[in-house]
A and B are shown apart, each in its own frame.
Chain A
Amino acid sequence: MRILGSPRGARRALRSVAVAAAGAVALAACGSSGSNSGSSSSGGGSTSSGPTYTIAYEGPLSGGNSQLGIYQKFAVQLAINNANAGTTFGKLPFKLKFLPEDDQGSGTQAPTAAQAVIGDNSVMAVVGPAFSGASKAADPLYNQAGIAIVTPSATDPTLQTHGWNNFFRVVADDNAQGPADADYLAKGLKVSSVYAIDDASAYAQGLVGAFDTQATSDGLKVTHETAPGTTQCQAGTGNVQQYGALATKIKSSGAQSVFYAGYYCDFALVAKALNGAGFTGKLLSDDGSESDSFVTQAGSSVAQGVLASCACQDITKNSAAASFVSGYKKLANGDPGLYSGEAYDATNAIISVMKGIGSNVTRSAVISGLHSVNYQGLTKTIQFQSNGNISGTAVYIYKVEGAHMVQLGAVTSLIG
Chain B
Amino acid sequence: MSAATVPASAGRGPAGWWAWARGVEGRRLVAWILSLLVLAVMTGPSGNNGSPTTGFTGSLLHPRVLVFVALGVAGWALSALRRSQGERLRRLNRSILALPQRAVADRRNRLLVYLVVLGVAIAYPLTLSGFWQQVLVDQIGIFVLLAMGLNVVVGYAGLLDLGYIAFYAIGAYSGAYWTGSLPVHPPFHLNPFWVIPLAIAAAMLAGLVLGAPTLRLRGDYLAIVTLGFGEIIQIAATNLQSVTGGAEGVSGIPHFSVHVGGLHYAWKLSNLPYYYLLLAFVVIALIAFHFLADSRVGRAFTAIREDEVAAEAVGINLLKYKVMAFAIGASTSGVAGLLSASKISFVSSEYFTVQLSILVLVLVIFGGMGSLPGAVAGAAFLQWVPQILRQHPLFGYQPQDLYIYLGALLVVMMIFRPEGMLPSRRRRRELALAERGIGTADAMSGSSDPAVGP
Contact = CB atoms under 8 A, between A and B. Distances in A.
Interface in A115-134: 115-116, 118-119, 132-133
Nearest to B354: A237
Contacts of B138: 108-109, 111-112
11 contacts: A21-B120, A37-B391, A66-B400, A102-B390, A107-B249, A107-B344, A108-B138, A112-B131, A137-B344, A200-B239, A205-B248
A43 to B, nearest CB: 20
B346 A37 contact: no
Interface string B330-353: 000000000010001111101100
A88 B125 CA distance: 44
Contacts, number: 188
B395 interface: no
Interface centre among B109, B127, B247 (most CB of A within 10 A): B247
Contacts of A317: none
B129 A34 contact: yes
B312 to A, nearest CB: 28
A106 B351 contact: yes
Closest 9 CB pairs of A and B: A62-B400, A34-B129, A62-B399, A10-B104, A115-B134, A16-B373, A10-B110, A202-B247, A31-B128
Contact of B129 (A24, A61, A102, A119): A119
Given A30-B132, A133-B350, A16 B422 contact: yes
Interface centre among A24, A108, A118 (most CB of B within 10 A): A108
Contact of A16 (B109, B133, B376): B376
Interface of A: 1-5, 7-17, 19-21, 23-24, 26-28, 30-35, 37-39, 61-63, 66, 102, 106-112, 115-116, 118-119, 132-133, 136-137, 140-141, 144, 156, 158, 200-202, 205-206, 226, 228, 237
Contacts of B271: 115
Given A31-B127, A202-B350, A15 B249 contact: no
Contacts of B31: none
A31 B132 contact: yes
Contacts of B391: 30, 33-34, 37-38, 116
Contacts of B384: 23, 27
Given A112-B131, A228-B238, A17 B248 contact: no
A112 B344 CA distance: 10
Contact of A34 (B105, B120, B131, B344): B131
Contacts of A12: 371, 373-374, 422, 424
Contacts of B398: 62
A33 to B, nearest CB: 8
Contacts of B193: none
Given A20-B120, A38-B391, A115-B134, A5 B110 contact: yes
How many B residues are at the interface, by size bracket? 35 or more
A190 B35 CA distance: 63
Contacts of A32: 127, 129
Contacts of A116: 131, 390-391
Contacts of A144: 269
A405 to B, nearest CB: 20
Main secondary structure of the interface of B (DSSP, over half): helix
B431 to A, nearest CB: 17
A137 B346 contact: yes
Given A13-B113, A20-B377, A27 B134 contact: no
Contacts of B347: 107
Nearest to B422: A15
B287 A63 contact: no
Nearest to B340: A108
A156 B247 CA distance: 12
B56 interface: no
B399 A202 contact: no
B198 to A, nearest CB: 22
Given A30-B388, A37-B391, A4 B345 contact: no
Given A23-B381, A37-B391, A14 B104 contact: yes
A140 B269 contact: yes
B188 interface: no
Interface of B: 97, 100-101, 104-105, 107, 109-111, 113-114, 116-117, 120, 124, 127-135, 138-139, 235, 238-239, 241, 246-249, 251, 269, 271, 287, 290-291, 294, 340, 344-348, 350-351, 354, 371, 373-374, 376-377, 380-381, 384, 387-388, 390-393, 398-402, 422, 424-425
A133 B105 CA distance: 51
A389 B93 CA distance: 66
B249 A4 contact: no
Contact of A17 (B116, B380, B424): B116
B110 A4 contact: yes
Given A15-B373, A32-B129, A107-B351, A61 B400 contact: yes
Contacts of B346: 107, 133, 136-137
Contacts of B104: 7, 10-11, 13-14
Given A12-B371, A61-B400, A111-B134, A133 B128 contact: no
Contact of A8 (B133, B354, B392, B425): B425
A32 B124 CA distance: 12
B399 to A, nearest CB: 4
Given A10-B105, A30-B391, A141-B269, 10 more contacts: A8-B425, A12-B373, A27-B384, A30-B132, A38-B391, A63-B399, A109-B138, A111-B134, A112-B138, A226-B238
A106 B356 CA distance: 12
Contacts of B399: 61-63, 102
Nearest to A144: B269
Given A116-B131, A140-B345, A10 B113 contact: yes
Nearest to B116: A17
A110 B133 CA distance: 14
Contacts of B239: 200, 226
B290 A17 contact: no
Contact of B251 (A35, A108, A158): A158
B130 A118 contact: yes
Contacts of A1: 107
Nearest to A21: B120
Contacts of B344: 107-108, 110-111, 137
Nearest to B102: A7
A390 B400 CA distance: 32
Given A30-B391, A37-B391, A19 B377 contact: yes
A200 B247 contact: yes
B248 A156 contact: yes
Nearest to B251: A136
Contacts of B388: 26-27, 30
Nearest to B111: A4
Contacts of A106: 350-351
B302 to A, nearest CB: 15
A379 B117 CA distance: 56
B290 A5 contact: yes
Contacts of B249: 107, 133, 136, 202
Nearest to B247: A202
